[in-house]
Amino acid sequence: MIKLVVTDLDGTLLRSDHKFNDEDMVSLCRLGEMGIIRAIATGRSPFSASTVLPDDFPIDYLLFSSGAGIMRWSDKSIIHANQLSQEVVQYVIALLVEMHADFMVHEPIPLNHCFHYHSSGKLNSDFERRISLYKDYSQPLITGVPFPGPASQVLAVLPNDIERFNAISKKLNGVQVIRATSPLDGKSIWLEIFPEGVSKSGGIQWLCSYIGGIHPHNLLALGNDYNDIDMLNLAGEAFVVSNAPSELKDKFQVVPVNDEAGFSHAVKRVLKKG
């Protein structure tokens, strides 16, 4: 019996044109009528999510910033939030500067669309594009002065180089490191740094406890990228859309691409089993 359905947003529920399939909207409404809890788990901040999700979007919860925070969608109240301490933020900044990485330090929730950035000086078009997109909410990081407070996350934008990702990850201690593919150029690696325990699966488990009566085997999860793996491993029914990397498609059930209502196919397949 499925009691909770959680889907990733970009590249999964959201189409390539940043709109939604009518069939998927019908499926979300049907799930609500059946009393099944609906949630989106995304790497986006609440501000970023609001640019594509209208206020009346048919979900119950938004797990944002890869599980760092959870919003009850009906009244947009934040019911759960995590942050990196000032001490940890300073340690991460020093390490990333030493590793010559391009990165952003994001303000605490709910203003975590605002960030301070540091450039290594090397060409990094994905990094520059993200700064341009958030030009009204970003400012250069002054590396010689201690960061003024806690942060929701630190995001390093790397070229498509898994060895560099692994090298930096191995040096980071006492934090949660999550790999994601850039939604901007579709190839750069985003190395996301959160407080220990923060992940999509961690957010889902917190939500299950908050709601009560929901076990991971009651969960249907749908994703498309590396930052969804922990969520998919948690779920009793785990799916990826066909536009996911091959290594994910080899491990989880596969449905059509995000542009062809893959979400609805996953829901229908599981409801048929019931």
Question: pLDDT tens string for the chain (274 positions)?
Answer: 899 999 999 999 999 999 999 999 999 999 999 999 999 999 999 999 999 999 999 999 999 999 999 999 999 999 999 999 999 999 999 999 999 999 999 999 999 999 999 999 999 999 999 999 999 999 999 988 999 999 999 999 999 899 999 999 999 999 999 999 999 999 999 999 999 999 999 999 999 999 999 999 999 999 999 999 999 999 999 999 999 999 999 999 999 999 999 999 999 999 998 6
Q: What is the DSSP string of 100-159?
A: T-EEEEEPSTTSTT-EEEE--SS--HHHHHHHHHTGGGEEE--TTS---S-BSEEEEEE-
Q: Which residue has the tokens 């799930």?
A: 31
DSSP state of 239: E
- Which phi and psi (to 5°) does residue 138 adopt? -135, 155
Give the CATH number of domain 4-81+198-273: 3.40.50.1000
pLDDT digits (tens, 9 = 90+) for 101-136: 999 999 999 999 999 999 999 999 999 999 999 999
Residues 233, 255: Cα–Cα separation, whole Å: 17
Asked if domains 4-81+198-273 and 86-195 share a fold, the reply is no
Q: What is the pLDDT of residue 152?
A: 98
Q: What is the pLDDT of residue 273?
A: 83
Q: What is the pLDDT of residue 274?
A: 66
Are residues 191 and 226 in contact, defined by beta-carbon separation less than 8 angstroms?
no
Contacts of 257 (CB under 8 A, 6+ apart): 241, 242, 243
- Structurally, at CATH architecture level, domain 86-195 sits in 2-Layer Sandwich (3.30)
Q: What is the pLDDT of residue 28?
A: 98
| All structural domains of the chain with their residue ranges | 4-81+198-273, 86-195
Q: Is 64 helix (H, G, I), strand (E, B) or coil?
A: strand
Are residues 24 and 17 in contact, defined by beta-carbon separation less than 8 angstroms?
no
